[in-house]
Structure 1
Amino acid sequence: MTMQAVILKDNALELAEVPVPEPGPGEVLVKTLANGICGSDLHCVTHSHALAAGVKAVTGADLLDPAKPVVMGHEFCAEVVRNGPGTQGTHQPGARVVSPPMLARPAPVNLGFGGVEAPGGYAEYMVLTEALMMPVPDHLSSEVASLTEPLAVALHAVNRGALGADDVPVVIGCGPIGLAVIAVLKMRGVGPIIAADFSPARRALAAEMGADIVVDPRETSPYDSWHEVAAVDDQARYGRQTALFPELPFRPSVVFECVGVPGVIQQVLAGAPACSRVVVAGLCMAEDTFLPTFGVLKEIDLVFSLYYSVEEFAQTLGHLAAGELRAEPLITGRVGLAGVPAACAGLADPDKDAKVVIVPGL
C-alpha cells in the first residue's frame, strides 16, 4: 500500500509515491488531517546539511540524514486509523489527535526530520507513539489543533522569559513564532506588548494577535516605544537597577528575538534597556557574532529557547480547547500536498503568508 508524500531530496521538494508506514510496538497509524509549514522546514530545505551538522555537533545525535529523502512536517493534527502491536487502544479509529513530534523508539525519531519509513505531516499517513498522543476536542478544528506545536514553542519561550506582572515585553520579528509569542503574552494579560517588523502584513497580523504597539523599525525604534509606555512614577515598580544605570524610572523589560538572522542579537543588545532579559527564540542557521560589552555593561540576561516540554504541549492544547489562546488569524493559507513546494517558496515573501497549513485532502 502506498501514499502520497512530499519528500526533500537534494535541497528540493517533490511529490512522490511512498509506502504507507507500518506502526511498531506501542505505535499507531494515523491519517494526516492538517500540518503547518514551519520556518525550520524552510531552513531544512536550504540548509539541511548545516542543520544536521549543527545538531550533531551540539547534541551528538543525528537529527536527519541529508543523503536520504526526508519527509518533513512536525505541526500536525491526525486521525487514528489503526492501533499497532502492544498498544492499549487508548484512542480508537476515527479519533483526532495531536502529539509532540517524537517517536519514542530505542533510537528516538524526530518526526518531520525522518525518512519515508517514519514520515512527518507532509504525507497522507504517519505513525505516532500512543503514549504521547493527545485527543482533540470535537469543537476544535483540525487546522487550529495543528498549531498546538508552534504555540507550545511560544509558550515555552514566554516561560523562559519568566515575566513578572509589571514587565513590558518587546517582540522583535513578527513571523509565525513572534506572532505566537504575542498570542501567549496576550492570553496571560502581560502588556502593553510592543512588536516590531519590517513587513506591513506582519505588523497588521501582530496587531490582530494582540500587540498594543506595532512599529516599523525603519521609522520608529521599538525601544523608544518601550521608554514611552514603561515610564512610571512609582519607585516600587522600577525595574532592576545597577551601578552604571541607577534610578531608571521604568518598568522591567523582556525582549523576544524572533528573527533568527545574523546580527539581530547584537542589535537587541545595543537597543534593549539596561537589565533587560532577552529571550532568543529565532533559529539562526549561520555563524553570528555580538559584542559582550553591551550585555555586560547593561547587565542583560541572555536566554535561549527551543521546543517545549510534553507538559507545555498539553497545556497549549488545553488553552486552545478552552478558547483562551487565539490562533485562527495565524493561518493565512491552505494547500494540498501538490501545492507544498510552491507554498514553501512563497513563504520567502513575508507579505504573502504567515502560516500555511497543508490539508492533504485538498
Structure 2
Amino acid sequence: MRAVVMQDRRLRVAELPDPVPGEGEVLVDVLACGICGSDLHCAQHGAEFNEAVKTAHGVGMFDLKRPIVLGHEFVGRVVAYGPRTTGRLPLGSRVVSVPALARPARTFLGFTGPETPGGYAERMVLSETLLLEVPDHLPTEQAALTEPLAVAHHAVARAGLGADDVPLVVGCGPIGLAVIAVLRMRGAGPIVAADFSAERRRLAEALGADVVVDPAQESPYRSWAQATAAGPHGAAPGVLPGGKSRPTVAFECVGVPGVVQQIITGSPARTRIVVAGLCMTSDSFEPAQALLKELELRFAMMYSPKEFARTFAHLAGGDFDVAPLVTRTVGLDEVPEVFASLSATPEDAKVLIVPAR
C-alpha cells in the first residue's frame, strides 16, 4: 500500500506492506483522514513532544528512530476480519474508532510505525470492539470530524459550563472552531471568538459564534466584557470578585507562548480558563494576577471512549452543523506540501486526506 511516512522531520510517500490484523482486529481501507495540529507539531517538534509525554506519563509517545505513519482522525471501510472476530458489521461498512488498538500494550494509532499505521495510508487495522458504524446519511467528510469534535467536547466538559456562562474562544483553527460548534450545540451564548485570519473568522460565524473579533483591530476582551453585561443577568462587568456580571469561561486554542498570559490579563474575575492549544515550548504567566482575580486554569487533552462515542452520536444525529469545517481535500502525494503550507498560512481549517484521490 501507499502511505505518507514521517522520519527525521520529513514527510515522504512510500510503498509499505499491508498491515495484518491480529486477534480481534479488522482491516479497513482508509476513506478519509484529517490533518491535525498535533500532526504538525510532531513533524516540527517530535523530540519535544515525546519528552513532554515521557515526563507526564513515564512513557514515550513514539520512536523517532523509526518511520511513523501519522493520522488519528479517520474513517475507514471494513474489508477483512482478523482471527477471533465476530464479523458483527458487514464487509463494506464505513466505521470510525478511537485511534487506539485494544491490545495488552495500548497502541495509539497515528503515532506508530508501518506495522500499525495511522490514517495517512491506504489501509490500517482497527479493533473490532471499538468500531462505530457510520450511518448512510452521514457523509464520510463529516464523519472524519468525530475525533477533533471529541477533543472539543472534552474541552467544553472540562470548563464545567454553566447555563449563564459567556464563552470566549481565542484562536479559530480547527480545535477552536470545533469548540464553537460544541458550545453552539450546548446552547451557550453569546459566544465571542477571536482570530487574526479573516477566513477563520468567517468560519467561526458559520459555526455559531455570535461576536467575531479581529484582535488586530479591536480587543476581544472588551467585546467579551460587553457580552457579559447583556441579557437578563446584565450588569456592568465587575473588576473584583463578587461583581454582578455574567460568569465567563475562556478557551485558549492557539498554543503559542504568551496567549495564556494575555487571557489572564484580559479576563474578568473568577473566569475559568481552559487551555486546549498545544504549546510545544516553555511559557510563563503572572500568577499574582490570576490569584487576585481568583481565576481557574484548566487543561484539556484528548477524551474518553465514552466522550468519543457520545460526540459521534451527536454528529450522526444532526446536532452539529460542521460541514464548513472541511475546507480542502488532498491526496497522499500532496501531504508534504500541505504540511508546509498549513504551518505558514491560516487560510485552511480542516484539511482531509483522501488516499484514493
- Calculate the TM-score normalised by the size of structure 2: 0.97
Partner residue in 2 for 1:311 = 306
Structure 1 position 239, deviation (Å): 11
Q: What amino acid is the match of 1:166?
A: D
Partner Cα distance (1:296, 1:218) in 2: 28
Partner residue in 2 for 1:256 = 251
Structure 1 position 349, deviation (Å): 3.7
Partner Cα distance (1:240, 1:224) in 2: 10
Q: What amino acid is the match of 1:146?
A: A
1:95 pairs with one of 90, 93, 96: 93
Q: What amino acid is the match of 1:317?
A: F
Counterpart of 1:303 in 2: which secondary structure?
A: strand
Query: CA deviation digits over 1:49-105, x for unaligned, max 9?
Result: 111111111101221011100000000000001111111112221011000000111
1:1-362 map, 5 Å: 3-231=1-229, 245-362=240-357
Structure 1 position 142, deviation (Å): 1.1
Q: Tell me which stretches of 4 or more aligned residues in structure 1 moved more than 6 Å.
A: 237-241
Partner Cα distance (1:246, 1:238) in 2: 14
Distance 1:246 1:16, change over 3 A: closer
Distance 1:127 1:240, change over 3 A: farther
Structure 1 position 246, deviation (Å): 4.7
Name stretches of at least 5 consecutive residues in structure 1 with no aligned partner.
Answer: none
Partner Cα distance (1:246, 1:282) in 2: 27
Structure 1 position 238, deviation (Å): 7.5
Q: What amino acid is the match of 2:2?
A: Q
Structure 1 stretch 224-233 or stretch 150-159: which is displaced more?
224-233
Query: CA deviation digits over 1:121-140, x for unaligned, max 9?
Result: 00000000111110000111
Aligned residue pairs total 357
Counterpart of 1:285 in 2: which secondary structure?
A: coil
Counterpart of 1:306 in 2: which secondary structure?
A: coil
Name stretches of at least 5 consecutive residues in structure 2 with no aligned partner.
Answer: none
Partner Cα distance (1:247, 1:106) in 2: 51
Counterpart of 1:20 in 2: which secondary structure?
A: coil
Contact 1:239 1:251 in 2 (8 A): no
Structure 1 position 321, deviation (Å): 0.9
Distance 1:250 1:22, change over 3 A: same
Contact 2:207 2:324 in 1 (8 A): yes
Counterpart of 1:70 in 2: which secondary structure?
A: coil
Partner Cα distance (1:16, 1:258) in 2: 33
Structure 1 stretch 265-274 or stretch 342-351: which is displaced more?
342-351
Distance 1:239 1:65, change over 3 A: farther
RMSD of Structure 2 on Structure 1 (CA): 1.6
Distance 1:225 1:239, change over 3 A: closer
Partner Cα distance (1:137, 1:318) in 2: 10
Structure 1 position 291, deviation (Å): 1.1
Partner Cα distance (2:249, 2:95) in 1: 34
Partner Cα distance (1:19, 1:232) in 2: 60
Query: CA deviation digits over 1:7-64, x for unaligned, max 9?
Result: 0011000000001000111111111000000000000111111111111111012210
Counterpart of 2:16 in 1: which secondary structure?
A: strand
Structure 1 position 217, deviation (Å): 1.1
Distance 1:169 1:152, change over 3 A: same
Identity %: 56
Partner Cα distance (2:339, 2:231) in 1: 49
Contact 2:237 2:245 in 1 (8 A): no
Partner Cα distance (1:220, 1:228) in 2: 13
Contact 2:328 2:351 in 1 (8 A): yes
Partner Cα distance (2:130, 2:231) in 1: 49
Partner Cα distance (1:233, 1:217) in 2: 24
Counterpart of 2:125 in 1: which secondary structure?
A: strand
Partner Cα distance (2:261, 2:171) in 1: 14
Query: CA deviation digits over 1:246-303, x for unaligned, max 9?
Result: 5523100000000011111111111111100000000111111111111111000111
Q: What amino acid is the match of 1:253?
A: T
Counterpart of 1:342 in 2: which secondary structure?
A: helix
- Calculate the TM-score normalised by the size of structure 1: 0.95
